[in-house]
Amino acid sequence: MKTDGPASAPPRSGPGTSFRWKTPPEDNGCRLDRIVSVHLRMDAAQAAALVDFGSVYVAGRIEQNPSRTLSGGEEITVSIPAYGPHKFFELDPGRILFRDRHLLAYDKEAGIPSQQTPFDAYNNVYAALLRFLSRKTRKAYAALHHRLDKDTSGVMLFALDRSVNATLGRSFRDGHVSKEYLALAEGSPAADSWTTDREIGKTGGRYCAVPAGRGKKARTSFRVLHRERDFTVVLARPATGRTHQIRIHLAAEGHPIVGDRAYGAKPAPRLYLHALRLSLKHPALGSELAVEAPVPADWPWR
């Protein structure tokens, strides 16, 4: 292993800082945390903490074992979290909305990712759920069948038994799961109800509404529930599940979600989008199941 200085600059504290390099043949037999330590000029404890935190990938796969021995020739990627390898999120049992032996529904907090990010495998709902379940069973299991954006709050549903995965997966894929969201939209839409069919695609690396034939089909129905001077409370029912669908469709109508700066809204304390209700047939019992998450206390309208 070379020790005559790093191949890249020391890590900065800003978000999105990442480093990628290929280990030389002489790194054969070296520990991963030692290689990260030398390459990024940090002490061994810091390097080991980053590996354990889920910030290090080897050959494109997350590696959380600091003592893993490398062979040389592997591509290493390190993504530095702006807040450091700080473990701050755990599941709140009081936010569990439904649980039986097959399923668990959770009221996700705004600002917490649904699953791991490239720089953090700890502070997310899925990882926290596995830790929560492991307190009572050595064989904790949960499967993630849908996701909410980091800044969206509300209902998330997990499978707790492998036997329901196929049925539950088909329900989501075939549109047999009804989803309802609350959104605070800027301004006042002209109609009290409407449906948007704008296709969604990528332009310049970001999702947006695109002309017909240039993206994926998407449909969302909207209904006004309440109007204030500066915003309107809207109930959204997406018939498809495209990335950022509700956010994009409201922005395309000229009424972005309050706090959604990515799609043209003014700054606000949070993104005011909430997964209110999820309805489906229970994948094991066949009975109708509806789970609702209360409107967050920090909303200006409840």
Provide DSSP, 207-248. Answer: EEEE-TTSSB---EEEEEEEE-SSEEEEEEEESS--TTHHHH
Q: What is the b/e burial string over 60-86, where b = at least 16 CB atoms within 10 angstroms of the residue's CB?
A: eeebeebebebeeebebbbbbbeeebe
For residue 126, the Cα-to-chain-centroid distance in whole angstroms is: 9
Give the pair of three-digit tokens for residue 270.
């949070």
CA distance 195 to 239: 10
Find where tokens 């990882």 sit: 127
Within 8 A by CB and 6+ apart from 24, the residues are 2, 72, 73
Within 8 A by CB and 6+ apart from 100, the residues are 160
Task: Burial-class residue 295 by CB neighbours within 10 Å (0-12, 13-18, 19+).
Answer: middle
Q: Which residues pair with 57 in a beta bridge?
A: 62, 77
Q: Judging by DSSP bridges, how do beta strands 153-159 and 143-144 pair with one another?
A: antiparallel
Q: What is the b/e burial string over 282-294, where b = at least 16 CB atoms within 10 angstroms of the residue's CB?
A: bbbeeeebebbbe
- Taking the CA atoms of residue 7, residue 10, residue 11 and residue 14 in that order, the dihedral angle to the nearest 10 degrees is -120
Judge whether 1 and 7 are in contact, CB under 8 Å: no
Active-site residue set: 149
